[in-house]
Chain A
Amino acid sequence: MVNNEDTILVVDDDRVARTALVRILELEGFEALGFADGAAALGYLADAQAPCLIVLDMRMPVMDGAAFREALLKEPRLAAIPVVVLTAYDASAASELSVLRVFTKPLDIEAFVKLLHENVDSD
């Protein structure tokens, strides 16, 4: 089992946004891993230790953000992981997913990083 209790997962199908965000998180002192859809992230989580936070896009192919969140909540080991949603739709669309915070795209990076530092211990 991978020890990644300090890891943040970034689940977003937009390659450019995902890879850049992963690098930004690394520069902020977090461990970060990117996944292109909910199913890929869920596959990873099956064998890995729970990460400290998940950054989740809503509209993705294969398994979208809502379906992924639902799958997390069904699994007691994963249900408590804090989730931050990034959506290009109205924030209200994700209001029923019981997440830590919903950000709309384009992301307010300062506010986002501040929230992470408040909720996650970085190295």
Chain B
Amino acid sequence: MTKLSITDELTPVALLAAIIDSSDDAIVSKSLDGIILSWNRAAERMFGYSATEAIGQSITLIIPSDRLAEEDYVLGQIRKGSKVDHFETIRQTKDGQLLDISLTVSPIKNERGEVVGASKIARDVTHRKRLELEREELLAREQSARVRLTEAIGARDEFIAVAAHELRSPLHAMVISMHLLRKLCDDPAAMPRVIELIEDLKRELDGFVSLLERLFDVTKIQTGTFELHREPFDLSQLVDQIVGRFSKVHPAISLHVESRIEGIWDRARIDQAISNLLSNAVKYGANKPVAVSATVAGETAVISVRDEGRGISSEDLARIFDQFERVAPRTAADGLGLGLWIARQIAERHGGTISAQSTVGKGSTFTISLPLRTK
């Protein structure tokens, strides 16, 4: 059996028609007035109009209204005998969908070389455009992640520097005190100073341990191993005890508690969070009275600590519960800027909230709200 070649089966014109019909790109021809003269199968698939519907209509059929001016430009180029190559634009389908297409429009010339119309090849690049867009979005996301990472590394480095300073200072006081203690031990008359030094050492050591605890808390929170050990207890009693402790160093603390506020919380952590608020109120409260209250509002226990200190600007209020943030300048008082962040973690892990209101020059109120019932 003899195999026939394609050119044996089809005339050149029929062959061209077959190529055009089997193309995946829409191939359309139009007159110089923009009237559609031919419309292949891919054009039918791409734009949704059948050849019968499209032929004889203006090409503006598939041009979105805000892009009609493009057609004047394209026809202008064609009349001059120029080609419009890989022109990326948007066209509209019969059902109104917008397609990203890459368009090549070439002049059709007659035997005398005069331009009589235009052929138009359109490729749907919607998918490619979407990929490009996705790539750009990914790139932007990657860049912003990189910026956040750089900021986080900067904050961490600063934190390590400050933490090292905060750890070295009490160590220094302890080393010097120990040295002096050793020297004074030989002198019985120095006994009162020895006792004083031992008390100083104990306080320094307590401060050092509590700093280490806070650093461990940060690690626990960040590694997800910060756990609550809930037990039923009376919050009013706890607040009373905390205020009792602070009253030894700051006599002007007033207390208003409702009797018996029972709940199931982590006693040590709640103590830590409230103590942090009270410690700040004493430290930044300009030696003025501090008011503490523990009340019940609906299903919530509300503990508030109010001072009459210098207050916090609204800008600072927005970031005060963030990690490593502190409002006071680093040189003004000790601290790592971790206390409020840890207090927030404690409140939130109990299903509660922590908030602050403040007026510059008048003072601040910090409030912890805890659900009375565990969800």
Contact = CB atoms under 8 A, between A and B. Distances in A.
Interface in B182-204: 183, 193, 197, 200, 203-204
Interface stretch (A20-28, A39-47, A70-78, A114-122): A20-28
B200 A106 contact: no
Given A16-B177, A20-B176, A105 B331 contact: no
Nearest to A24: B180
B173 A17 contact: yes
Interface of A: 14, 16-17, 20-21, 23-24, 27, 59-61, 64, 86, 88-90, 104-107, 109
B175 A61 contact: no
A88 B331 contact: no
Contact of B176 (A24, A64, A90): A24
Contact of B175 (A59, A60, A90, A106): A106
B174 interface: yes
A88 B173 contact: no
B161 A20 contact: no
B200 A24 contact: no
A17 B169 CA distance: 9
Given A20-B176, A61-B332, A89 B204 contact: no
The 9 tightest CB contacts between A and B, nearest first, are A105-B172, A88-B168, A106-B175, A17-B173, A106-B172, A16-B173, A88-B165, A20-B176, A106-B171
B331 A17 contact: no
Contacts of B330: 59
A105 B171 contact: yes
Contacts of A109: 175-176, 179
A65 to B, nearest CB: 10
B124 to A, nearest CB: 62
A98 B193 CA distance: 36
Nearest to B177: A20
8 contacts: A14-B172, A16-B177, A24-B180, A59-B330, A59-B331, A105-B168, A105-B169, A106-B172
B175 A107 contact: yes
Interface residues of B, number: 25
A20 B331 contact: no
Residue among A16, A17, A88 with the highest chain B CB neighbour number at 10 A: A16
A88 to B, nearest CB: 4
Contact of B168 (A20, A27, A106): A106
Given A20-B177, A20-B197, A107 B183 contact: no
A106 B174 CA distance: 8
A104 B161 CA distance: 13
B199 to A, nearest CB: 10
Interface of B: 161, 164-166, 168-169, 171-177, 179-180, 183, 193, 197, 200, 203-204, 330-333
Residue among A21, A105, A107 with the highest chain B CB neighbour number at 10 A: A105
Contact of B180 (A20, A61, A90, A105): A20
Given A16-B203, A20-B173, A107-B175, 13 more contacts: A14-B169, A16-B177, A20-B176, A20-B197, A21-B176, A88-B164, A88-B166, A88-B169, A105-B168, A106-B172, A106-B174, A107-B172, A109-B179
Contact of B331 (A61, A104, A106, A107): A61
Contacts of A20: 173, 176-177, 179-180, 197, 200
A59 B204 CA distance: 18
Contacts of B331: 59-61, 64
B161 A88 contact: no
B176 A107 contact: yes
A24 B172 contact: no
Contacts of A88: 164-166, 168-169, 172
A90 B158 CA distance: 13
Contacts of B166: 88
A106 B171 CA distance: 6
A89 B172 CA distance: 12
Contacts of B161: 89-90
Given A60-B331, A88-B165, A24 B183 contact: yes
Contacts of B203: 16
A95 to B, nearest CB: 16
Nearest to A23: B180
A65 B183 CA distance: 29
B175 A16 contact: no
Contacts of A61: 331-333
Nearest to B332: A61
B202 to A, nearest CB: 11
Given A60-B331, A61-B331, A64-B331, A17 B165 contact: no
